[in-house]
Each structure stands twice: as C-alpha cells, then as structure tokens.
Structure 1
Amino acid sequence: MILKGNDLKKIGYTEGKVLGLALTIIEKEYATLLPADQLALLQHVKDDPAGYVHHEKLSPLATEMLKPADATLALEPHGKPYKIYGAEAIEECAIQQMDIASRLPITVAGALMPDAHQGYGLPIGGVLATKNAVIPYGVGVDIGCRMCLTLYDLPVTMLEDDKEALKKMLVNNTMFGQATFKRPKDHAIFERDEFSDIAVVKGLKDKAWRQIGSSGGGNHFVEFGIVDIPSVADALGLQPGKYLALLSHSGSRGLGATLAGHYTKIAMDVCKLPQEAKHLAWLDLDTEAGQEYWLAMNLAGDYASACHHQIHERMAVGLRSNPLVMVENHHNFAWKEQDASGEEVIVHRKGATPAGKGVLGIIPGSMATPGFIVRGKGVSTSINSASHGAGRLMSRTKAKQTILPGHVNKVLKAAGVELIGSGLDEAPMAYKNIHEVMASQHELVDVLGTFMPKIVRMCGDERFKEVD
C-alpha cells in the first residue's frame, strides 16, 4: 500500500505544500516502512515539528510546518526581463499584468505576443516559464483550447457550387455553447484512469460525455474555407495549390472550465500573493494538488483534441472524403520543456501558439480575414512561442455597443464570407489587423500557407446575419 493524501488528511494534514512534501519524503526515504509506521512517523512530526528541525531526513518537512500559515509571499522587487512583440498595439494593462508575472519568485522567463490583451492573472498572449510550478490561470479557463485544420482533395469550387449543402453540413454536425448532440459519439478518452482516480474529474465524466464533439461559445468556430499553399510545403507533404479545408477552434468545454476553477481556488488557498498578483497563484508540482492538476490539465487537453477530431470525422463523412493532412495545436496549456541551459521549466502559453523549431501550428485571423499555417523557428526570446490569433482590439461589451450589424454584413460580403451565426462581439472589426500581427512576429514563424474563411458557423444570435 502506498500512502495517499487522504491518508495524511485523516491524521490532521491539510492540502498544500506540507502534505505534498510529506508524501515525497516518505516515498523517497521511508518506503520500506509499513504504512502504519509511516503514518505514525508523520504524526510525530506534525505533533512536534520543532523537534525535527535538525533531523537528517525530516528537517525540510518540519521547517515547512513551522512557517506562518497565512504568510503572504512577496513578489521580487525587479522582474525577469521579457521580450514584447508588437508592443505598439498592446494595451498597457496587458503589459502591466506581464510585469507582475515577471516578478513571481517562481518565474524563470517570459514573453508577450503581439495579439496580447488583458486576461485573468497572465494576460492573453502571455508566455511564462516557471520552475517546478504550474499556474492554473497561467494556463487559462478553457484548458487545451486549440486549433484544428483539415485539408481535403476536393475542388474549392464546392464552396460556391455546393454552398447550401456545406451550410447544412455545418448546422447538422456542429453544436455550440449549451447545445449538445442527442447521441454523442463514444471515444477512448473516457477509459482514462483520471476519470476514476481524481475525485473532481470523476464528477465531470457525465458532463464531458454529453459535450463530446461540441464547441464552446465566444470566439469558437467551425468553418469551411480555402487553403492556399504558394510553394512546395515539405512539412505538409503538399504541392502548391488551393485546397478545400475545414478549420475549427474550441477547447475542453465544461470539463476544462470546472477544473480551472477548482484548482485555482486550491492554488489561491495555499499560495497567498499580494492583491495585484492573486490570480497568479501556483501549485508546486511536488504537491499532491500540483500533480493532480497536471494530470487533469493533460486530460482536458486530450479531451479538447478528441472534440475536434469528432467534428472533423463527422465532416469527412458528409464530404465523403478522407483528409489529406491535419494540422492542430493547443494554445491554452502548460508544457514541460528545457530552457537554454538545459534545465526543465514549465512553459505556460495562455493564448499563444507553440513555435519550437519545426513545430507546425495555426494562427487564425477573424471571420473575414485569413489565418496562417505556420512552422516555428524556435526563437528562445519568445520561449518558442507565437501569437494564437489576431487578438482583440476591443472588449466584447464595447463591440456590442459600437459595431453596427449593417457594417459587418458589408465587410463579410466584400470578403465573400457566408455567416451562419455569430454575435457582434465577434465581428471582424473587434480584432486587430492580422497582417500587422504577423509582421510583428516574422522572426518567430515561417508561413507555409493561408486559410481564408468562406462559410462560418459560431455560437451566437442567428438573427445577426439577417439584420441589414
């Protein structure tokens, strides 16, 4: 039998670094003891930590126990330097958030992408490398939010000749927001041990089952369009030309959102930070909560991928065509990577695309502007990252208050885009100029091709497209 966190909680330990440290020391130093003897030893340390401060093996645990329970952790007086890409188009509040993140005692390095704007804790478009710690709000609420692009060997003339059939295909095979399929498709993801081993995850299995294959609200979409490959793309295995393609953008649905809230609360309980930094509370990966979050985060990321794959599988059936190639990437996630010195770091990309050397990714524009298939150059100052899109130019509230439906319809018509459903908060003019964003990060990625939306479905007011 191996001791678990619940065993220690029964003798008075509470969730946090102390509990995780106790489990680590027992496993490393006292694995040969019987579980009852291990518990008895940990009980002694808990009852008299001062008596173990100088103990050869238990000193770290005793020292941690004697620290003031609610001590606020101080930020570093000076933050780690970080590179800003496209600073002229980034709002000051996003830079201020990144300044605070750079002062965390766990921060190793940072970078700010040209699509950056204000978020909770880490700004959207913020990249942060930390030492042995993960920040739930550094990952984001929509864990594993990702892009997925499929190219088909079908004529792009279908977008006009078979427009109504393609629109019907989108309506029948995609669900957004609260809507779900009456008969969800099964998936191997539901056989994962996390759904039985982690209590909070176990309680979300039924909801995850209902939502599999669907997309969230907000800026999530599924759209048909044209991919243009201007020159031979060996990385894609494609010849130059135009291809019919399907692009989707969504995340881990209610599963990821609930996990983000649950573990953020735990992080804020055990990691007391000054008010301005409270949403940057982290979980030490040596603790049980940190390990749990890491497993749950990876499950949510894989679930998000499964949702996309089911969307694209449904479309492949309707199109009666197998995909030529698929490109996909997360942009709300944390990865274990190595820094320039070879040390392991935890890289948070909150609204940022992985752009390590040779890594493929998708950077979308808006519903009326192109997206880009990119290959990373592996630039260390960006922590091997690039933007995850154009980035918002105005808040959702401001967009709804100031953008006129008639103006949007004219822009869409000029771009040759058919919109099935959306809201004014997703109008093209609510976003930054994608061409300027790409110009600001030309040193970070090579562009292999472009994707131009032609038939777009999002979560929103169906009447929007009918207003002139």
Structure 2
Amino acid sequence: MNDLTPLTGHDLAEWGHKPGPQFPELLARANDLLGAGGSISDIRAVLATEIPPKPDQFALHAADMVPFQENLTPADADEEANLLKVRETMRAVMRTPTVVGGAIMPDACPAGPVGTIPVGGVVAARNAIHPGMHSADICCSLMLSDLGDADPKTVLDAAQSVTHFGPGGRPQGQRFTVSLDLLDAFRANVFLNNAKTVRAAQEHMGTQGDGNHFLFVGTSRKTGRTVLVTHHGSRGPGAKLYKAGMEVAERYRRRHAPDTLKQNAWIPADTEDGEAYWNALQIIRKWTKTNHNSIHQATVEAAGASVGERFWNEHNFVFRRGDIFLHGKGATPAWHDFAKDADPAGRTIIPLNMAEPILIVKGSDAARGCGFSPHGAGRNWSRTEHMRRLGQKTPEQALAEETKGLDVRFYAGKVDASELPSSYKPAAALEAQISSFGLAKVEDWIDPYGCIMAGELPRFQRRVKGRR
C-alpha cells in the first residue's frame, strides 16, 4: 500500500483497533492525516493512543501447583473409587487462576463434570467470588430450636401441618409474610431487582424444597430436651441469583480467563459487580434464615411449645477472611466468628442420615480443613446406583428395615429410597474422621424421633419441576 491509497477499516483492525461506533470518526481522522502527507507509520503511532489497553489475562495454574488438603480416609473399594474421583476434580479446580488453596472433607463426593467443586469441597480464592462454587442452592443451611419438654410426636405433627416440601412455592392464600424491608433490599440490589426473583421470594417463604432437605425432631443426649432441626437452602430466589451471578462471571471469564472452566468463572470482588454480588449473597442469606425462622415459629405455635435457644449455620456459601474468599460446597465454617449471627458458643450442626443422631459440634478452625468441617454424611455412589443396590427390595421394605422405631414421613406420600440411610456414607466413620483430622469436637448428639422429607413426587409434579 502507498501513501495515496485510502486507509480502510481493515487497516485499523490490523493495527489493533476494535470495530465499533468510534470507527467512522477514527477512519476519517486517519485519512485526513494521510492526505496531509503523514506516513503510515506516523498515523499508526498517533492512533495507537485510541486502542484500549488489553484486559488483564489470567493463566491457569500449572497442574498440582496449588495443593489441597485431604481429610478423608477410604475404608473400602467404593470409598477408594469415590476419593479418586474427588481428587481428579479438585486437581482441576486448583488450576483456576484465583485459587490459593483448598480442602476436601470426610463427606466429599463428586458433584458434576471434572473440574467442578465436589460436595464436601472448600476452595480459597483471592479477591474473587465464584458463583459455581457455592452452587445454585445458595446458603443451604440448618437451624436448631430447643423446644424443652415438648412431646416429639406433637412437634412432628405440628410441623407437618405447617411446612411445605416439593417444587414451586405456596399457593395464594397460604403464603407466609415477607417483610417489606427484606423485599426492599431485593429491589435495591442489581442482581436481585427482578420481578421473577422478588415474586419467588414471596412465594417460596415457608418452603423447604426436595432432595436431601428435611425437618427433623429428636432429643438432646446432653439435656434430654426436644429439638427441632430444619435443612434447606434459599429456594427460588437463590437459584435466580446463582444464574445471574454465573452470567456476569462468564463475561469476566471470556474477557480475562478464557482457558478457565465455565463452572469456575468468577466475579472480581473489588469491582462494582463484585460488591453488588457480595451484597446480594448477604440478602439471600438473610432471606434463608428468615425462611428457617418462619417454619420454626409456625411449628412452635401449632404445637403450643416454647423456644429455648436457637442457632443456625450454612454450608453452601462464601465466607471472607481478608482478601481471601472461602467457598464451601457442602462444607460448614468451623471458626467461631464466621458470621455476626453465628452461635456465640461456636457450635454448628452436622446431620448424618434420618436414622442417626444429628451432631452438634464446636469447630476447631483447622488449617488442614481451611477452617471448615463437614456438612453431613455424603455419598459414595449416585442415587441411581443406590437404587440398583437395593435389588428386589421395595422402597417401603428398605425404609422399614433401616428406620425401625422411627417416625419417618414423606410429604408427597411416597418413599424416596434415594434418601434412605444406606444411600449415605457410614455415620460412625464420618464422625470418627471429624475427630481424627481435628476438624471439630462433638459436643452433643440429637437422637432421632422422626423426620419429614419431600418424598418421591408423582409423575405430573416431576414434569412441572423439570420446567421450572
């Protein structure tokens, strides 16, 4: 090309300019300079100041550069195979550019494609919030209420009359009240100010969902008092926040870290998006705690009981220590001040299965656990594999064998065999590993009287759930 040949958009693109609304003015200026006798090299140098700087690029860590701690001792071939899968996926997670450490708990098991944080996984990241690492069930959590000398059956009957399991929310006329202040907080946050999200916050209050979520009634070995425990997450509002967060994180991933796996995309914490997302997480946390409280209070009133102490903790969430963001996917924070409303005594709640006690533990902030302890018993195989291993037993037969003497109820009416005790890791082994790895100290056991779970949904409800 000589100096008399007009410059084109193709020339500007070759020099590093990105096409956009500024292109016509930029091209006209370039040709004016050319017509005034400017050389191509001079024109290119003058226009170089108009090229936006390349965004910071984050490269994957080298394999095995960032180690993670294992707090899991396999006892048989199934557990060994499970551990190998967990190691494989954690090694891939540790390559994420922001990650500075991690750990797996005794209840660890895979939760998606390789490179997805496992259940029972902890990932520490610097200045980064990874929505995929707290998962769609944001703030899945447990709440405990001491109900004194209340009759356990009366409490379970009352709970069944007021709680709600299954897909969707409560129908009009049966909804629990959501405070105007909480709804205003949703509307004031860019991630939550969405008509569908706000509506879900209203419809899903007082609901518990399905899967491994439960309402449990038992007796404290330490005090002999009746105890109510609920387990559920943030339902529809949390799922919608997760989706919005993943969309924003993906934009950052494409621009700054295209080699990072999509499920490990992140939002820089020190950006406007990061601050808004962190605030949204705290609002969803408040909604979830309110949801637990609403079910507990409705049960207390229906049972005519009185409440002693009440505390709670989450295990699918992000916690901050300085500029390090700790992502727990099915892992319970085990340091005493993990949240302003944490139990003053430093206790947290770890369920095992419907036929075993719920553990009340005091965390030890163990370095080998990144400060965490397990959230439950975990699984060594999939729900489908568990059903296969039941063989010719019906779900009803298996339930009768595995929960003899307990009052186990399924909200939908049909037994969900995938939630039977045999589908989980051995409770005694998990409790032993909590102790042997120094993750927490057991302070009490809540022996089961009975529980309520969602149960196997009728075909129509399963189809409706799949469309949500």
Contact 2:60–2:95 (Cα < 8 Å) also in 1? no
1:278-317 map, 5 Å: 278-317=262-301
- Say if 1:113 and 1:352, in contact at 8 Å, map to a contact too: yes
Q: What is the CA distance between 1:274 and its match in structure 2?
A: 6.8
* Alpha carbons of structure 1 residues 132 and 415: separation in structure 2 relative to 1, 3 Å: farther
Query: Between Structure 1 and Structure 2, how many residues are aligned?
Result: 385
List aligned pairs for 1:38-437, cutoff 5 A: 50-51=48-49, 62-65=52-55, 73-88=59-74, 89=79, 90-120=82-112, 121-154=116-149, 158-159=151-152, 163=153, 165-177=154-166, 178-180=168-170, 182-188=173-179, 190-198=182-190, 200-203=192-195, 204-229=197-222, 241-272=223-254, 277-338=261-322, 344-357=323-336, 359-403=346-390, 404=393, 405-421=395-411, 422-437=415-430
Whole-Å separation in 1 of the counterparts to 2:191 and 2:125: 27
- The TM-score with structure 1 as length reference comes to 0.76
Partner Cα distance (1:224, 1:197) in 2: 37
Q: Provide the rounded CA distance (Å) in 2 between the counterparts of 1:382 and 1:49.
A: 53
Structure 2: gaps spanning 5 or more residues? 1-19, 23-45, 337-344, 459-468
Taking the aligned partners of 1:462 and 1:187, their CA distance within structure 2 comes to 27
Query: Partners of 1:351 and 1:50 in 2: how far apart?
Result: 50
CA contact (8 A) 1:49 1:63 kept: no
- In 2, the alpha carbon distance for the partners of 1:202 and 1:49 equals 42
Residues 77/95 of structure 1: CA separation in 2 closer, same or farther (3 Å cut): closer
Contact kept? 2:355, 2:403, Cα under 8 Å: no
Does the Cα contact within 8 Å between 1:144 and 1:302 map onto a contact in 2?
Answer: no
**3-state DSSP of counterpart to 1:386:** strand
Structure 1 stretch displaced more, 74-83 or 451-460: 74-83
SS in 2 for 1:333: strand
Task: Give the letter aligned to residue 203 of structure 2.
Answer: R
Q: CA deviation at 1:109?
A: 1.5
Task: Identify if the C-alpha distance between structure 1 residues 266 and 321 changes in structure 2 by more than 3 Å, giving closer, same or farther.
Answer: same
8 Å contact from structure 1 (residues 374, 448) kept in 2: yes
- Conservation of the 8 A alpha-carbon contact between 1:190 and 1:205: no
Distance verdict in 2 for CA 1:419–1:106, change over 3 Å: same
**Percent of pairs with identical residues:** 26
Distance 1:413 1:363, change over 3 A: closer
Q: 1:82 to 1:74 in 2, by over 3 A?
A: closer
**Coordinate RMSD, CA, aligned:** 2.6
TM-score, with structure 2 as normaliser: 0.76
1:456: which partner in 2? 451
1:150 match: secondary structure: strand
Q: Which has the larger radius of gyration?
A: 2
The one-character-per-residue Cα deviations of 1:218-271 (angstroms, maximum 9, x if unpaired) are 000112111211xxxxxxxxxxx3111111000000111111122113212321
Q: Is the 8 A contact 1:382 1:444 kept in 2?
A: yes
CA deviation vs aligned residue, 1:116-147 (integer Å, no higher than 9, x gap): 11124211111111100011011111011100
Change (3 A) 1:274 1:115: farther
**In 1, Cα distance between the equivalents of 2:361 and 2:21?**
52
Residue 429 of structure 1 and its aligned partner are, at CA, apart by 0.5
Deviations 1:5-42 (A, max 9, x none): xxxxxx989xxxxxxxxxxxxxxxxxxxxxxxxxxxxx
Please give the secondary structure, in 2, of the residue aligned with 1:143: coil
Q: Which amino acid aligns with 1:117?
A: C
* Residue 35 (structure 1) aligns with: none
Spell out, residue by residue over 1:154-201, the C-alpha distance to the aligned partner (whole angstroms, 9 max, x if none): 15xx23xxx3x4443122111012252533232335244332332543
